[in-house]
Amino acid sequence: MIFIIVIFILSLDQLTKLLVIKNLTLYQSVPVLKNIFHITFVSNRGAAFGMLKNQVPVFIFAAFFAIVLIYVNIRKTQIKKISIYNLSLALILAGAIGNLIDRLRFGYVVDFLDFRVWPVFNIADSAITIGAVLLGHTILFTKSAKP
């Protein structure tokens, strides 16, 4: 079940990025809800919020390292019933793979979800953020974080 979640999130991430690349030019913005939510094609050459710009080799190495660690941890703890712990790792894994694919293909990450009050992001970023919040909650508020 965990790997179905990874494949689903990864597919959704890559499909939405493909649609943006095919239908918008770089920095083009299309309002969905004017002044609230736009689809804006941005190339992010940094990490979260554009920090550490043009450090692609560092990001590629870090992503590979994180992907291997998460995969090993999921394989070790995988059980029939899905746990919040494994779900959080699956979300982080899918997001890391999605953004890694972009860095390897383009040298940057395709971002497009623009809420105008926050830096532009994508599905992979959302999965990583939700996964990290769930993981943090699980570690802080459960007796045994792992299943």
Q: Which residues does the annotation mark as catalytic?
A: 111, 125
Q: How far apart are CA 86 and CA 26, in angstroms?
A: 36
How open is the CA angle 24-50-95, to the nearest 5 degrees? 75
DSSP per-residue string spanning 15-28: HHHHHHHHH--TT-
Torsion, Cα of 70, 100, 26, 21 (10° steps): -90
Return the residue matching tokens 């994508």: 122
